Amino acid sequence: MYEDCTDVARFIRGEIDPGRFPHREHVRMGFEILRRHNFAEAAFHYCVALREMTRRVGKPEAFHQTITIAFLALIAERLEAGGHADFAAFAGANADLIDKSALKRWYRPERLATEAARRTFLLPDPVL
Protein backbone atom coordinates (compact mmCIF):
# COMPACT_ATOMS: atom_id res chain seq x y z
CA MET A 1 0.00 0.00 0.00
CA TYR A 2 2.79 2.46 0.88
CA GLU A 3 5.68 1.00 -1.13
CA ASP A 4 6.36 4.34 -2.81
CA CYS A 5 6.93 6.15 0.48
CA THR A 6 9.16 4.34 2.94
CA ASP A 7 8.64 6.86 5.75
CA VAL A 8 4.86 6.50 5.54
CA ALA A 9 5.12 2.72 5.55
CA ARG A 10 7.40 2.85 8.58
CA PHE A 11 4.96 5.21 10.33
CA ILE A 12 2.00 2.94 9.63
CA ARG A 13 3.93 -0.10 10.89
CA GLY A 14 4.87 1.77 14.08
CA GLU A 15 8.59 1.85 13.32
CA ILE A 16 9.15 5.61 13.68
CA ASP A 17 11.11 6.73 16.73
CA PRO A 18 8.75 9.02 18.68
CA GLY A 19 11.76 11.04 19.85
CA ARG A 20 12.45 11.94 16.23
CA PHE A 21 8.87 12.79 15.30
CA PRO A 22 8.38 16.52 15.82
CA HIS A 23 5.22 18.38 14.81
CA ARG A 24 6.48 19.04 11.27
CA GLU A 25 6.75 15.25 10.77
CA HIS A 26 3.21 14.81 12.08
CA VAL A 27 2.04 17.23 9.39
CA ARG A 28 4.18 15.53 6.72
CA MET A 29 2.79 12.10 7.55
CA GLY A 30 -0.74 13.51 7.45
CA PHE A 31 0.00 15.08 4.06
CA GLU A 32 1.40 11.83 2.65
CA ILE A 33 -1.40 9.63 3.97
CA LEU A 34 -4.08 12.05 2.76
CA ARG A 35 -2.54 12.02 -0.73
CA ARG A 36 -3.10 8.27 -0.82
CA HIS A 37 -6.47 7.84 0.94
CA ASN A 38 -9.79 9.56 1.36
CA PHE A 39 -10.21 11.44 4.63
CA ALA A 40 -11.90 8.67 6.62
CA GLU A 41 -9.30 6.07 5.66
CA ALA A 42 -6.44 8.49 6.27
CA ALA A 43 -7.80 9.41 9.70
CA PHE A 44 -8.11 5.74 10.62
CA HIS A 45 -4.57 4.83 9.53
CA TYR A 46 -3.06 7.94 11.07
CA CYS A 47 -4.83 7.58 14.42
CA VAL A 48 -3.99 3.87 14.72
CA ALA A 49 -0.31 4.56 13.99
CA LEU A 50 -0.09 7.52 16.36
CA ARG A 51 -1.89 5.67 19.16
CA GLU A 52 0.51 2.77 18.76
CA MET A 53 3.47 5.13 18.87
CA THR A 54 2.30 6.71 22.13
CA ARG A 55 1.52 3.29 23.60
CA ARG A 56 4.96 1.96 22.69
CA VAL A 57 6.69 4.73 24.64
CA GLY A 58 4.43 4.21 27.65
CA LYS A 59 2.45 7.42 27.18
CA PRO A 60 -0.90 6.42 25.68
CA GLU A 61 -2.45 9.49 27.27
CA ALA A 62 -0.37 11.66 24.91
CA PHE A 63 -2.67 10.76 22.00
CA HIS A 64 -5.18 13.57 21.49
CA GLN A 65 -8.12 12.76 19.20
CA THR A 66 -9.33 16.33 18.65
CA ILE A 67 -5.92 17.77 17.81
CA THR A 68 -5.15 14.85 15.51
CA ILE A 69 -8.40 15.00 13.55
CA ALA A 70 -8.47 18.81 13.44
CA PHE A 71 -4.96 18.97 11.98
CA LEU A 72 -5.78 16.23 9.47
CA ALA A 73 -8.89 18.15 8.43
CA LEU A 74 -6.86 21.31 7.89
CA ILE A 75 -4.26 19.42 5.87
CA ALA A 76 -7.00 17.75 3.78
CA GLU A 77 -8.73 21.07 3.13
CA ARG A 78 -5.47 22.68 2.00
CA LEU A 79 -4.61 19.65 -0.18
CA GLU A 80 -8.01 19.92 -1.82
CA ALA A 81 -7.11 23.44 -2.94
CA GLY A 82 -4.31 21.77 -4.91
CA GLY A 83 -1.12 23.00 -6.45
CA HIS A 84 1.37 21.22 -4.17
CA ALA A 85 3.79 18.95 -5.97
CA ASP A 86 5.32 17.66 -2.75
CA PHE A 87 5.48 18.27 0.98
CA ALA A 88 8.10 21.02 0.66
CA ALA A 89 5.74 23.00 -1.58
CA PHE A 90 2.80 22.27 0.71
CA ALA A 91 4.71 23.32 3.84
CA GLY A 92 5.92 26.49 2.14
CA ALA A 93 2.39 27.46 1.17
CA ASN A 94 0.92 26.44 4.55
CA ALA A 95 3.52 27.51 7.09
CA ASP A 96 0.78 28.11 9.66
CA LEU A 97 0.21 24.34 9.91
CA ILE A 98 3.84 23.77 10.87
CA ASP A 99 3.14 25.76 14.03
CA LYS A 100 1.50 23.67 16.78
CA SER A 101 -0.60 26.66 17.80
CA ALA A 102 -2.47 26.71 14.46
CA LEU A 103 -5.63 25.37 16.10
CA LYS A 104 -5.97 28.44 18.32
CA ARG A 105 -8.00 30.02 15.51
CA TRP A 106 -10.70 27.41 16.12
CA TYR A 107 -10.25 26.09 19.65
CA ARG A 108 -9.86 27.66 23.07
CA PRO A 109 -6.99 26.08 25.06
CA GLU A 110 -9.44 25.09 27.82
CA ARG A 111 -11.50 23.07 25.36
CA LEU A 112 -8.45 21.21 24.04
CA ALA A 113 -7.30 20.52 27.60
CA THR A 114 -10.40 18.46 28.43
CA GLU A 115 -10.41 14.69 28.71
CA ALA A 116 -13.30 14.62 26.25
CA ALA A 117 -11.09 16.31 23.63
CA ARG A 118 -8.42 13.68 24.18
CA ARG A 119 -10.83 10.76 23.86
CA THR A 120 -13.03 11.90 20.98
CA PHE A 121 -13.16 14.57 18.32
CA LEU A 122 -14.77 17.79 19.48
CA LEU A 123 -15.99 20.29 16.95
CA PRO A 124 -14.36 23.72 17.04
CA ASP A 125 -15.60 26.32 19.47
CA PRO A 126 -18.93 27.76 18.34
CA VAL A 127 -17.72 31.35 18.54
CA LEU A 128 -14.20 32.60 18.98
Whether residue 1 lies inside any domain: the answer is no
Whether residue 47 lies inside any domain: the answer is yes
What digits encode the pLDDT tens for the residues 57-68?
A: 898 999 999 999
Whether residue 25 lies inside any domain: the answer is yes
Which residue range(s) make up the domain with 101?
6-119
Whether residue 61 lies inside any domain: the answer is yes
What digits encode the pLDDT tens for the residues 16-73?
A: 888 888 999 999 999 999 999 999 999 999 999 999 998 888 989 999 999 999 999 9
Whether residue 63 lies inside any domain: the answer is yes
Query: In sequence order, what DSSP letters do the residues of 64-111 get, joined into one string?
Result: -HHHHHHHHHHHHHHHHH---SSHHHHHHHTGGGGSGGGGGGT--HHH
Whether residue 50 lies inside any domain: the answer is yes
Whether residue 126 lies inside any domain: the answer is no
Q: How many domains does the chain have?
A: 1
